[in-house]
Amino acid sequence: MPEFRAEHTFNCSEETFWTKLFFDDEYNRRLFLERLKFAGWKVTKHQEAGDKVERIVEAIPPIGDLPGPLKAVVGEGAGYEERGTLDRGAHRYTAEVVPNRLADKIHVRIEISTVADGPERCQRIAKGSVTAKIFGVGGLLEKKMIADLEKSYAKSAEFTNAFVAEKGLR
C-alpha cells in the first residue's frame, strides 16, 4: 500500500485555513476547476454538528497521459466521491475517496491536518494511502495516483498562498 506525505507552509493562521479557505466556495471553485483543471467538482453534502463538519464532494479530475494498460482499466470520465469529516478541535480532516469505477478494488484514504507556525502561518500536512487490487496493473495505478496526489497538493499550496495574498487573509 503506497503512501504519501506532503507538507506546505501557508501564510495564514490555522483558523483562517479551516474557516476562510477549506470550505469556501470561491477558493474551491478556483482551485479545483481553474488551477487543477478538474472537469467537475461540487459539494453534494455539507453538514455541521458541534465540532464536526461532514462533507461529500463529487469530482472529475484530469486523467492526463496514462499508459495503455491503465487507460483500458480507468477509461474516460473517471471520477470519485470524497467522503470526509473535519474535526475542528483537532484541525484534522479525514476522507475516504471512492472512485466511480472499480470502487471495490481501489481504496484511497486522505488525512489533512495543520499545525501553527507562528501567529499568521501554518503548516498543512497531507498524507494518505492508495491500494489498487487489480491484477497486472494495480501497482502501476497506485504509483500514478500517488504521483498525481503529490503534484496536486504542491499546486494547491502555491494557489493557496496566492489566494491568501490576493484576498488579504491572515
Distance CA 20, CA 158 (A): 17
Fold of 3-167: Alpha-D-Glucose-1,6-Bisphosphate; Chain A, domain 4 (3.30.530)
**Predicted confidence (pLDDT) per residue in 44-94, tens digit:** 999 999 999 999 999 999 887 777 777 777 766 689 999 999 999 999 999
Residues near 145 by Cβ (< 8 Å), separated by ≥ 6? 108, 130, 132
106-116 β-sheet, strand order? 3-10, 122-132, 106-116, 92-99, 80-87, 52-60, 40-49
CA Rg, the chain, in Å?
Answer: 16
For the chain, the structural domain boundaries read: 3-167
Work out the pLDDT band at 15, boundaries 50, 70, 90: very high
**Predicted confidence (pLDDT) per residue in 125-143, tens digit:** 999 999 999 998 999 999 9
Tell me how many degrees the CA angle 115-116-121 measures, rounded to the nearest 5. Answer: 120
The pLDDT of residue 63 is 81
Q: Residue 32 CA to chain centroid, in angstroms?
A: 9
Work out the pLDDT band at 20, boundaries 50, 70, 90: very high
Distance CA 143, CA 136 (A): 13
The pTM for the full model equals: 0.94
